[in-house]
Structure 1
C-alpha cells in the first residue's frame, strides 16, 4: 500500500467545506461531492473578453466595442462563486498547492487554441517573496504538461507593484494596472496562452496582452479559472 494511501486511512482528511472524509477525492482536501458542484459557465458572454452577458443577442460587451483588447479572446471556466471560489482561495491564500492539478484539469475541459507556450500572469517580486509561490504558475505547469508545450515564466514580468484589487472599482483598477507588465522580446512571433486564476475587470488580461503584443507576440489568448460577475 502506498504511503499516501496508508496515511489517508490512518489520518483521514476532512473536507473544509462539508466536513466529510476526502482522502480519496481527486481534489483533496475538497471532497468529491463538493468538487462535483463546480459548473462550467456556458451562458451568453462577450465573444472577446468572455464577460457574462445578459442575452445571446449581445455579441460584444460595451468595453470591447469601444476599446478592443490586444488578445484574440479570453475565456473562463466558471463564475467566481461557490466551491470554485473556495478552491482558488485555498490554493492562493492557504498554500494548498495540491489543488493546482485538479484546477488545471478544469481548464483542460475548455476548447483551447493551438499555441507555442503557456504564460502565467506573474506576481510582482515583492508579492512573490511574501507568498513564496505563484498560484497561476502552478496551475500553468499542469496545463502546459497536458498540452505538451513549454511553460514560459520568463516572457512576462510584473514591473509595477499594485495594491490589492479586490475592493477597488473598475476605473481605479484599470489605472493601477496601466503599464504594470513588461514582456521579453523572446515572445516575438509566438502564439501565447496567458493563464490567470480570476478575471475581475479584465484589466490584468488586457495589460498582459498589450505587453506581449508590444514585444512582438503573434497572437495572445487568455484563459482563467473564474470570472467575477460585474457589480452594477
Structure 2
C-alpha cells in the first residue's frame, strides 16, 4: 500500500467516527451511553425519594409527602429531572424520530435498577394518537429496557379506551379527572411484580390509574421506570 493511500485513510473525516449524542464530537475512551466523558458530567447523581422519585435533601426511605400520601407503587426509578440535557434527548427521541436514543437511554436507566421486575409494560397511547405519530415512545423504551434487564415485555397489557385532552396545561386534580376510566387491563398478568415504563412522569396521574387496575387483580408490587421525573413547584422535598 502506498504512503499516499495511508495518508488518505488518516484524513478520513471525523464525522464518520461515532459522535457524542449531545456535543457531536467524536466519542472518547471514557464514553458511555452514547455520550463523551465531558457530557457525562451533566448526569451527576441526585438524592431522591425512592418512592416518588423527586429530589430530597437527605437520603431517606420515603419523603414527607410519600409518608403522608403514599403512591400506589413501591419504587420509582428515573435518570434525572426533566431539564437539559435529558429533556433535549427525549425531545429528539420523541419528536425527531431518533429511535436509536432508546437503547442508550434504556441502558442508563437500567444501571439504576438493581432488582428488576420480571415483567415490563408501557403506558399505552390511544390508537388514533399512535396511528398519527407512528409509534409509542414508551413502548420502544420498555422493549429496549426489558432487553437490558433480562425481563419479559408485554406491550398489550393495557389499552387506552378513549382519547384524552393533552395533560400539559392541567392541574393534578384535572389530570386525575381527565384520565378516569381512560385505561383498561386486557388480561391478568402471571407475575406478581410488574414495572410500568414511561418517558416522563409529572404528577403521576397516569401511573396511578394503571396501578389501580393492577392492584384490583392482586398484583403485589408495582415499580415505575421512567427517564425523567418532572420536579414539583417546590423543587426539594423534606425527608
TM-score exceeds 0.5: yes
* 2:193 maps to 1:216: no
**1:194-215, CA deviations, whole angstroms, 9 ceiling, x for partnerless residues?**
1111111111221121122223
Q: TM-score, normalised by structure 2?
A: 0.78
Structure ID, larger Rg: 2
Q: Distance in 2 between matches of 1:17 and 1:111?
A: 24
How far apart are residue 188 of structure 1 and its match? 4.9
Q: Give the Cα–Cα distance (whole angstroms) in 1 for the partners of residues 226 and 60 of structure 2.
A: 24
Q: Indicate if the aligned counterparts of 2:119 and 2:191 stay in contact, CA closer than 8 A.
A: no
Whose relative contact order is higher, 1 or 2, with alpha carbons under 8 Å and at least 6 apart?
2
Cα distance, 1:141–1:8 mapped onto 2, change above 3 Å: farther
Contact 1:121 1:156 in 2 (8 A): yes
How far the C-alpha of 1:22 sits from its partner, in A, is 5.5
Matched, 1:36 2:40: yes
Give the match for residue 103 of structure 1: 105
- Tell me if structure 2 keeps the 8 A contact 1:182–1:212: no
Which residue is equivalent to 2:141?
139
2:51 is aligned, of 48, 51, 58, to: 48
| Structure 2 Cα separation of the partners of residues 16 and 218 of structure 1 | 39
Equivalent residue for 1:154? 156
Q: Secondary structure at the match of 1:220?
A: strand
Shift of 1:96: 0.8
Alpha-carbon displacement from aligned partner over 1:5-36 (angstroms, at most 9, x marks no partner) = xx986778987865x446898767xx636752
Cα distance change, pair 142–126 in 1 and its aligned pair in 2 (3 A): same
Displaced runs of 4 or more, over 6 A = 7-16, 23-28
Which ranges of structure 1 fall in alignment gaps of 5 or more residues? 1-6
**Is contact 2:93-2:101 (8 Å) kept?**
yes
* CA distance, structure 2, for counterparts of residue 58 and residue 26 of structure 1: 29
Equivalent pairs, count: 221
CA spacing shift, 1:180–1:151, aligned 2, 3 Å: same
State the Cα deviation string for residues 139-159 of structure 1 (Å, max 9, x = none): 111111122221101212222
